[in-house]
Chain A
Amino acid sequence: MSRISKAFKSGKAFIAFITCGDPDLETTYQAVLEAIDNGADLIELGIPFSDPTAEGPVIQAASLRALKAGVTTDKIFDLVVRLRQKTDVPLVFMTYANKVFSYGAQCFIETCKRIGIDGLILPDLPFEEKEEFLPLCQKYHIDLISLIAPTSANRIAMIAKEASGFIYIVSSLGVTGIRNEIKTDLKAIIDVVRQNTQIPCAIGFGISTPQQACDMSKLADGVIVGSAIVKILEQYGKDAPVHVGSYVKQMKLAML
């Protein structure tokens, strides 16, 4: 069984997103370990991209801070090597297609396998374009994570049938960022997913409060939180890891 599958086996999974290199990679390293120590079941490591078109202001700003601080794909690979010495929790990269493509897809995905990355989330790689990287992901046993959106409608079954790892359910229209209210009929979407696949689904985009985590975990197998954690890093900088830990603990408790 893959590390990702295992992460969903003991109750609802809490998935934490962290932008690598904001404010520096040492802080990212500590924040990831704090999140894991406090119950995170899967970590999404954001590889910053200069023009993240699916992100709201919080993650855009974090990406720019990280790039300004000099983070590169190779330095993030080194971070993963260090993390893998400490943890068996699944680690997936979240980045944009150009980051993989420009590195050389073969080299990027082969390296992912070698250093212990479990999956890849590329928000600008829809079902129609997945052949760009899927053959390599399959060759190296990296799960190419599929996203399903509130507008997916007639596409849900098609996407779910070919999904691997877990399915990322986008809770709302628009870009990443904290929302007061999630209005999408997620149950209807997840029902269709469940009719077409056994693999777990996690809801992300807009989730920040324990109450939201509780509500969403009743619908899905996991909850993804990004901007709220990135905000903690923005607020506390190098001192953020301990605050990330206590935040994750609080969210995880709400999902029990």
Chain B
Amino acid sequence: MLLERIVSALGDLVAAAESVADEWIYVHDLETVWAARLRAIGSERTEHPPDEVAAAIDALVQEAHRITDPHRAIDWLSTLPQATLVAIAEDAW
């Protein structure tokens, strides 16, 4: 469930990034592959996360919501999943 919040934030970033018409396909492809990676990890993690991990996810979602520039949103579409995986002590790739 925790990582679904990140997947949802990725959707918000896609909405912000979609106005860059030339990158429409790339933006959606990024969302597809990273959401799949996060969901695969999430399905393996059924235990309650430590407080500091939950706080990290909160903070990462907040940071994603601060991104309004479409070009920055494209950068963050790739960065948010990597930062999330580092936060939960998973291989970031």
Q: Is the A/B pair a real complex?
A: no
Residues of A within 8 A of B (CB): none
Residues of B near any A CB (own CB < 8 A): none
